[in-house]
Amino acid sequence: MVLALAIETSCDDTAASVVDAQLHVHSSVIESSIDQHRAFGGVVPELAGRAHLTTIAPVVRRALLDAGLDPHAPAIDVIAVTSGPGLVGSLLIGLSAAKAYALAWDVPFVGVNHLEGHLFAPLLERPDLEWPIVTLLVSGGHSMIVLQHGPGQHEVLGETIDDAAGEAYDKVARWLGLAYPGGPEIDRLAATGTPGTLKLPVSMTGDDYDFSFSGLKTAVVRATEKNPEVAVADVAASFQAAVSEQLLRKLRRTLVANPALRAVALAGGVAANSALRRGVEELASEFGVVALLPSLSMCTDNAAMIAAAGLYRFAHNGPSDFALSARPNWALAEVS
Ligand code: KG4
Ligand code: ZN
């Protein structure tokens, strides 16, 4: 049985996981430094880096112990590590740790693209799925629609031309005086509000697969200044409906243009959003395809998804060289 140990440190989560080639997750440990960033309304790179430095070794040790492995000489076959995109200081800590473990235990390591990791997350829960699928990858840093012809065979159809969907959630939440990260806060409030109370534009209605969220954020600011009497829950519900509508409209276009699609998947932190999950389920049933909605812990950053992508890359491209460096801006389209 081929076993991978994966390490993920691209943002504020220090994560490690052991996964086998059949994509069974033997352990998955996540230590977040989010509490240190809350007061600043966003992730502070220096604080994230320092937190990774102190937590990386205990997190790896716990992932090995949870998987029933000897933490001093684990019987693993490969170490997968996120080498980009992300915060450079944070990436370097995970990458250096992975290289050190690889040298100490005499096992190969493989650098993994964080976005490709997110694309593998739905597979961990549905290894039997049929291809091709379309994935809406929406997180704090990225928003894109990706056609996947098979594992590791992806084609980016469109992406945001400005803010990511999660970034828009966080910025609007900040404007409304809500805690960081704002996505879950707005989602929770939206459940008690009425969508459409605030009249907001639906951007990017053209014949493409791109998104735009910065105009929507500005529209929320303008509309709430003009209508200060509107309840925060109604603002949250109106904003959430406008974001989902834009995302779902482009997913629908993809399903119409690609009748061979077998499933529609959500990935990334915003995939935890209740309106989006509901919308994807409805869309999937309308088009007679499978809705792949990963559990919430698989939507947000974790190392199990990095292990899954790493196992694929190791089998197809072989190990990485020790000269491998962190790539903070590594685009998904450059992965092959
Ligand atoms: O993938 P992720 O954990 O980190 C990266 O950005 O890579 O995504 C975090 C983002 C944050 O912007 C957060 O506000 C958003 O996902 N998010 C949500 C929800 N849960 C997390 N956005 C909308 N609704 C949610 N329920
Ligand atoms: Zn992520």
pLDDT computed for residue 191 by the predictor: 97
Low-confidence ranges of the chain (pLDDT < 50): none
Q: What are phi and psi of 293, to 5 degrees?
A: -110, 100
pLDDT computed for residue 172 by the predictor: 97
Atom 2 of ligand 1, nearest CA residue: 269
CATH code, residues 127-297: 3.30.420.40
> Does the structural domain 3-118+301-334 have CATH classification 1.20.1050.10?
no
Atom 1 of ligand 1, nearest CA residue: 269
Any ligand 1 atom below 6 A from CB of 185: no
Kind and range of the H or E element at 138?
A: strand 133-138
**Cβ contacts of residue 247 below 8 Å, gap of 6+?**
136, 138, 143, 165, 211, 276, 279
Separation of CA 172 and ligand 1 centre (Å):
13
Closest ligand 1 atom to Cα of 300 = 3
As annotated, the residues of the chain forming the CATH 3.30.420.40 domain(s) are 3-118+301-334, 127-297
Give CA separation, 78 vs 8, 25, 58, 302, 332, in Å: 14, 15, 19, 18, 22
Atom 16 of ligand 1, nearest CA residue: 269
pLDDT computed for residue 207 by the predictor: 84
pLDDT computed for residue 138 by the predictor: 97
